[in-house]
Amino acid sequence: MAERHSSPLLGRDRQSWHFVEQDVHSPWLYVSLARRLNEESTIDMVMVADIPTFELFLGQTNGDLWIEGVQLVSPGWMNGTKGWLMESLVGIDEKCTENHRTYVYTVQEGKQYSNPPISAPDASAASRVVFQHTLNNDG
């Protein structure tokens, strides 16, 4: 469920969201997406529910569009607390075995969370870096 609102301040093709209801308790990403317009930059906030969609944003970055920062929003079952946490994301790695894919999120404090949870690391799992935060992502 979501509630949308149009505003002349946002422009003709833009809408703001008052709220979004999420039924599934899974992690999501709060992405600061920066755009260079002439000599000024703007930052839009985007809520991304899955890694394939996030990778679409990563594939579109260039000198005029870049990811300024990413926050991991994780549910309690994932972060080991009783509630949701929002933490600065440093990186995402994908670990794949023959029939299983897991994403490992590393946050700024060095903690790592995985989805789905990993009981023990699998040395045979193929690994790839999905995202690695750099200090200067401004193209």
Q: What is the pLDDT of residue 123?
A: 72
* Between 85 and 3, residue with greater pLDDT: 85
pLDDT at position 139 over 50: no
Three-class SS string for the chain? CEEEEECCCCCCCCEEEEEECCCCCCCEEEEEEEEEECCEEEEEEEEECCHHHHHHHHHCCECCEEEEEEEEEECHHHHCCCCCEEEEEEEEEEEEECCEEEEEEEECCCCEEEECCCCCCCCCCEEEEEEECCCCCCC
In the prediction, which pLDDT does 12 show? 57
Q: Where do the structural domains in the chain lie, given as residue ranges?
A: 27-132
pLDDT in tens, 48-100: 999 999 999 999 999 999 999 999 999 999 999 999 999 999 999 999 988 88
